[in-house]
Amino acid sequence: MPSEPDIVIETHGLSRTYRAGDIDVQALRSIDFTVRRSELVAIMGASGSGKSTLMAILGCLDRPTAGQYLLEGVDVATLSEPELARIRSERLGFVFQSFNLLPRTSALDNVALPLFYSRTGPAGVIERRSRARATLRLLGLGDREKNTPGQLSGGQQQRVAIARALINSPAVLLADEPTGNLDTRNSHEIMEALVALNRETQLTLIIVTHEPDIAEYADRVVTMRDGCIVSDERRAPAARPATTTAARAFGTGTRFLAHDPSVCRASDRP
């Protein structure tokens, strides 16, 4: 059955089992999960809850043991490794806790780097730099394009990393603990930048975080435990923090699920 046009990510019965010596470890247990285009979703959970495993599968960095994952209606399991690499390059953007910038390379060239490996990006150096320059301006770093990472603050380095993730106009931006290496002020500035991108460009954004004040910025907060989704909170955009204020209590609307660690139920359907 084909996906609805506005569904960008859809999983059915997604499971992932790892072999640790003689023991099978179930990192994900029959996850049903849907993300619609332009949503901003935060995934929370303690260490070992399965949130990073889910993010790795959604990012085509790992394959499920069982179940189905559809990205923009395409069954990822049917794709070859070169096809998966192309999707990671052209349809997905990644932001990590570590900025992973080339230390001796300018902000401009760090941002432009993915364009050298893209089939659909501009071929010429001038065009690549022009797009990178525009993306840096979008993140408020138009005056920092010549600076190397060592000449930038932690928050500025993460903005460069976000600009690099956006350079190929991905369908989804996946951010794994994007504020983990930042102080409180820079963390909220990064989140405000991501919220602005989501609102102004309709970018679909999925964030893994363990910090409730960071998750507060999302339209939805999905909580995981023991490889299952145990709650899914949907909130109106107006409920998001608008400034770098102290964290407020979560809004209403949380749906809690009966927690059976042997199986997960769909938690995100209206």
In a domain, 155, yes or no: yes
Dist CA 184 CA 206 (whole Å): 20
Convert 135-161 to b/e letters by CB count within 10 Å (16 or more is b): bbebbebeebbebbbeebebbbbbbbb
| pLDDT at position 231 over 90 | yes
Mean pLDDT confidence for 100-114: 94
Dist CA 213 CA 115 (whole Å): 34
Between 209 and 116, the higher pLDDT residue: 209
242 backbone φψ class: left, alpha, beta (φ>0; ψ -120 to 50): alpha
User: Can you give the pLDDT at residue 19?
Assistant: 87
Between 259 and 82, the higher pLDDT residue: 82
Q: Going by DSSP bridges, is the β-strand pair 66-71/7-20 parallel, antiparallel, or unpaired?
A: antiparallel
User: Can you give the pLDDT at residue 237?
Assistant: 56
Per residue in 170-218, pLDDT (tens digit) is 999 999 999 988 999 999 999 999 999 999 889 999 999 999 999 999 9
In a domain, 22, yes or no: no
In a domain, 238, yes or no: yes
User: Can you give the pLDDT at residue 263?
Assistant: 52
In a domain, 209, yes or no: yes
Question: With pLDDT > 70 as the criterion, what percentage of the chain qualifies?
Answer: 83
In a domain, 13, yes or no: no
Question: With pLDDT > 90 as the criterion, what percentage of the chain qualifies?
Answer: 68
Q: Would you state the structure tokens that stand for residue 169, as one six-digit string?
A: 């106009």
In a domain, 165, yes or no: yes
In a domain, 110, yes or no: yes
Task: Give the sheet arrangement for strand 74-75, strand by strand.
Answer: 23-36, 7-20, 66-71, 74-75
Q: Scanning the structure block, which residue is given the tokens 């949503």?
A: 39
Number of compact structural domains in the chain: 1
In a domain, 24, yes or no: no
Write the DSSP symbol of residue 238. Answer: G
A 10 A CB-CB count for 47 gives: 7
Question: Which three-class secondary structure state does DSSP give residue 40?
Answer: strand
Q: Is the distance from CB of 70 to CB of 11 less than 8 angstroms?
A: yes
| pLDDT at position 252 over 90 | no
Q: Is the distance from CB of 30 to CB of 14 less than 8 angstroms?
A: yes
Single-letter amino acid code for the residue at 64: P
Q: Going by DSSP bridges, is the β-strand pair 40-44/254-256 parallel, antiparallel, or unpaired?
A: unpaired
User: Can you give the pLDDT at residue 116?
Assistant: 79
User: Can you give the pLDDT at residue 235?
Assistant: 78
**The domain spanning residue 145 has which CATH number?**
3.40.50.300
Between 256 and 12, the higher pLDDT residue: 12
A 10 A CB-CB count for 202 gives: 10
For residue 122, CA distances in Å to 102, 113, 128 come to: 21, 12, 6
User: Can you give the pLDDT at residue 120?
Assistant: 61
Per residue in 18-64, pLDDT (tens digit) is 988 889 999 999 999 999 999 999 999 998 899 999 999 999 999 99
Q: Give the residue numbers spanning the domain of 123.
A: 37-58+80-256
108 Cα distance to chain centroid: 22
